[in-house]
A and B are shown apart, each in its own frame.
Chain A
């Protein structure tokens, strides 16, 4: 069988999305307090979860290519546009530091009852509109300093893919050790219990949900 299946149908989208949302909520990523605590170095969940996921998926992708299950050049690899990539990344980081979310987690926020997630989404729509409004004047900046198409770290440094993955694994292990110590110094990662009264205090309007779960 040759993969990917290139299935962009409704069921494919729903299935991927449901699992994505289910996992991110269980990681605590619906909470803007937990998300932004990463930037204050007091909760390293964002780094740990993202780095682990990147490594697991990278090993799977390259393993599947090696054994011929996945066709070479079968998956989309983004291309660097140096200034746009860096400036855009910085604006998304600033947006999270101020507003508490990134695009995906704002959808998790609103789905878990956080009304600020809704306003973050309205802000994003305005931001996209603003970008579209100034697109013509900034187009040259948007396309400046384009890197080689679909360049990977292996191609950039001239080393095999498995070397890159090995380095990332070492960085992740060291990161987990150091981060957990930093978290302890700040009193530990934020728990669901700590965030249970909503993210706010006096403005919390709780509604009781009879949970459908088994003990």
Chain B
């Protein structure tokens, strides 16, 4: 049985809903929504399991391993679990769930995996350097009207457009 595919929400509807959820998160916790912080904590946890000595003495990841029982014992971990569950429910109930290797249209599956991996490396490094990602700095920082957020978003957009143009043959 092939289920009917429901359309995406109009951007204005999705934007208003996202703004209200972001506002509720601020009122509830004192901070906004994020994502890259979880992957930093996850890396610290993984490092602690695989190469404990090197991770504990590392200037950046070491502090994550001190204090709390685990670097994963954080609000952010529950938030990301929630994000994945919420997205799964939305995709399944709208007929949009598909197992596939997505991404760059014009290259084979191994090419897609390679660009996803490479893009991920740049993003993981960049989000740590910027002290947050599109969600944590761009969206949540933007709602507080922080200068950092708008600088981040401008750099994000300019570099995105430039690099996108260079790799356009793979994507369109």
Contacts and interface: CB of A to CB of B under 8 A. Distances in A.
Interface of A: 3-10, 12-28, 30-33, 36, 38-41, 44-45, 48-58, 60-61, 64, 70, 74-82, 84-117, 119-133, 135-136, 138-139, 142, 147, 150-156, 161, 164-165, 176, 189, 191-193, 195-201, 203-213
A95 B120 CA distance: 6
A84 B130 CA distance: 5
Query: What is the interface of chain A mostly: helix, strand, loop, or mixed?
Result: helix
B83 A21 contact: yes
Contacts of A19: 21, 24, 82, 86
B126 A119 contact: no
Given A95-B126, A112-B97, 11 more contacts: A14-B85, A23-B17, A60-B26, A79-B148, A97-B160, A101-B116, A102-B133, A123-B120, A127-B125, A132-B59, A209-B95
A106 B115 CA distance: 13
Given A88-B131, A90-B126, A196-B98, A112 B87 contact: yes
Interface of B: 1-3, 5-9, 11-12, 14-36, 38-40, 42-43, 46-47, 58-61, 74-105, 108-109, 112-113, 115-135, 137-165, 167-168, 171-172
Nearest to A5: B28
B98 A206 contact: yes
B91 A93 contact: no
Contacts of B155: 85-90, 93
A193 B102 contact: no
A21 B101 contact: no
